[in-house]
Amino acid sequence: MEIIQLDIEGMTCASCVGHVEKGIKNIEGIDLATVNLATEKATVSYDPEKVDLETILGAVTETGYSASVYTGESDESEVKRKQVETKLRNMMIISSLLSFPLVTAMFVSIFEVNFLMFLHNPLLQLILATSVQFYIGARFYVAAYKTVKAGSPGMDVLVALGTSAAYFFSIFNGFIAESVGVVNSGLYFEASAIIITLVLLGKYLEMRAKGKTAEAIKKLMGLQPKSASVERDGEVIVVPISNVIPGDIIHVKPGERVPVDGKVISGNTSIDESMITGESMPVEKTVGDSLVGGTINSFGSVRFEAVHVGKDSVLARIISVVEEAQGSKAPIQKLADKVAAVFVPVVLLIAFGAFLIWWLVIGSLTSGIIAAVAVLVIACPCALGLATPTAIMVGTGIGASRGILIRNGEVLQLAGKLTTVVLDKTGTVTKGKPELQEIIPLNKMVENDLLQIAASLENNSEHPLALAIVDAAKDQQLKISETEEFTAIPGKGIRGKIKGREYLLGTESFMISNNIKIDSIVENKAALESRGATVMILSIVSDTASENIPAALISVADGIKENSV
């Protein structure tokens, strides 16, 4: 089975969702079809040996809608979305301006505002309402025609029928009723105009919500570099990320993002993988280690072989999880979908029934028409089918922008029943930046002197742990001394001379390899590490190996946020 996502255009309510799903599922070879109204996307699982993509797209077209293969959020799709949003906003503003005099006319008689009585002029109201009905509201007639023609009437049919009934009934009362001996029961142009204006307002707000959610996806995509330095024909050239293929040899310099997933083939470095793991401490990388696209190379240059590119990369899969979550359905939505499947026909029957009762039983044609229009108008927004998918779309989008990945709508619904929340420490409870926690002297030297020595050594390094020590020294206004014969051993530590005396700062294995006896401090070091800290050993190097001694344990960890306690 293969899974594809389709962009669906023309859906306006939950009934539309049911029609599209039914149209796709009726094709042989379809395993699963899920349509989301809020994201206007369909997720389809199909057997490519039994059905092809063109047949699936054709099935959607036959239901009265249009479909295309979703290729991911791009600049073009963002531009298109903003154009639609701008057009909706402009149409809504125009509709509001044209509807305002019609609504004002309702209050003129109530408050006896004589100088505005001209607003009751049938011809003036006809001109204003006609502009709204057939210029602003043309989209509803077009959509209604398409869905009726396909045998799948949706919300647009209700809007078109409801507003048309109010509009044409007003024409009858204003220009025809008296000439045929029927009592003029008033004008209802404002009803048709306001309905269209309010529906457009809902569409505009919905489009804005979609735009904000799309920004979360765009931020994730922004983590991936647009280009990569690739070896081609014996030289390193910069190529677009889309041109990188598995097997390419890529160069990454300090401070750059890793373009794609791969494996180190030469060099040593530390990688900030916080965007994937949430862990602020950089991870040492050497030959044979894996790299994840989008992570940041803290320091050191490496060459690596591209392994996973494009949609196969870790970052692309994360984006895919967010997009699938936005298109997923919560269990509670199943009830809404069942109701929506018969929603429009039932509403039409109820409206027709109300009209007949008022006309035939009570004897008032006018009240019958008003009652029928009221039923159609109340049903127009069809919020039943839109509320849940919109909540899922916005919820998952906001979650993604804050580093929370929500797998699907079902998980989001179940989250409401949580009684206990277990948080990952790093970046959630903590600041996401390493800070100096503690210095434990192992000889007669005082803490400030030890911090000054460590900061002087680390001042030559760009490692995040080094920056934490240097920042701590600057905060205490300690003088940073010049270091001579500085050497950095990636993944191990550093060494250098300060005022003629040699020091080492680094890992346990680094000390052992330099004949520093650390047996007596192992327990203290383990105790610090048990609190989640990274512990470095500062040692003094002597001309006599037996006099090489550790001078201090330096603990660096991700600090707790002030608002986490």
Instruction: Let me know whether 374 and 253 are in one domain.
Output: no
Beta 302-308 vs 249-252: how paired, if at all?
antiparallel
CATH number of the domain where residue 291 is located:
2.70.150.10
Instruction: Let me know whether 93 and 152 are in one domain.
Output: yes
| Exposure on the CB side of residue 206, measured as CA atoms within 13 A | 22
DSSP code for 335? H
pLDDT for 554 equals 92
Encode pLDDT of 364-419 as tens digits.
877 888 788 778 767 654 555 556 666 777 777 777 667 677 766 777 778 888 88
Last residue of a domain, one of 312, 342, 366: 312
pLDDT for 138 equals 93
Residue 131's pLDDT band, with cuts at 50, 70 and 90, is very high
Encode pLDDT of 285-330 as tens digits.
889 999 998 888 877 788 999 999 887 888 888 777 776 666 666 6
Instruction: Let me know whether 481 and 510 are in one domain.
Output: yes
Buried b (16+ CB within 10 A) or exposed e, 165-199: bbbebbbebbeebeeeeeeebebbbbbbbbbbbbb
Domain assignment of residue 152, yes or no: yes
pLDDT for 314 equals 84
Encode pLDDT of 510-534 as tens digits.
888 888 888 888 888 988 888 878 8
In sequence order, which residues have a C-beta less than 8 Å from that of residue 273 and are 6 or more positions away? 279, 282, 283, 292, 295
Determine the residue type at 427: G
Last residue of a domain, one of 56, 72, 88: 72
Q: Which two tokens stand for residue 411?
A: 């998980």
Instruction: Let me know whether 31 and 150 are in one domain.
Output: no
Domain assignment of residue 412, yes or no: no
424 is catalytic: yes
Encode pLDDT of 39-70 as tens digits.
778 889 999 889 999 999 999 988 888 888 88
**Axis-axis angle for helices 189-221, 75-111 (nearest 10):** 150
pLDDT for 136 equals 93
Domain assignment of residue 470, yes or no: yes
Instruction: Let me know whether 68 and 83 are in one domain.
Output: no
- Alpha carbon of 382 to those of 154, 159, 231, 387: distances in Å? 9, 11, 57, 9
Last residue of a domain, one of 381, 398, 415: 398
Question: DSSP E strands: which ranges in 209-285?
Answer: 227-232, 235-240, 249-252, 261-266, 269-272, 283-285
Rounded percentage of the chain residues whose pLDDT exceeds 70: 85
Encode pLDDT of 80-105 as tens digits.
778 888 998 999 999 999 999 998 88
Instruction: Let me know whether 274 and 157 are in one domain.
Output: no
Position 72 pLDDT exceeds 70: no
pTM of the model: 0.59
Instruction: Let me know whether 94 and 196 are in one domain.
Output: yes
Compute the distance between CA of residue 135 and CA of residue 129 in angstroms, rounded to an integer.
Answer: 10
Instruction: Let me know whether 156 and 83 are in one domain.
Output: yes
Residue bearing the bigger pLDDT, 531 or 249: 249
Distance between first and last Cα of the chain: 49
User: 501 by DSSP, 3-state: which?
Assistant: strand
How many structural domains is the chain composed of?
Answer: 4
pLDDT for 126 equals 94
Compute the distance between CA of residue 326 and CA of residue 391 in angstroms, rounded to an integer.
Answer: 9
Instruction: Let me know whether 450 and 549 are in one domain.
Output: yes
Domain containing residue 345: 78-219+328-398
Buried b (16+ CB within 10 A) or exposed e, 449-487: ebbbbbbbbbbebebbbbbbbbbbbeeeebeeeebeebe
Instruction: Let me know whether 303 and 340 are in one domain.
Output: no
Q: Which of 47, 312, 424, 475 is catalytic?
A: 424
Instruction: Let me know whether 288 and 375 are in one domain.
Output: no
Domain assignment of residue 415, yes or no: no
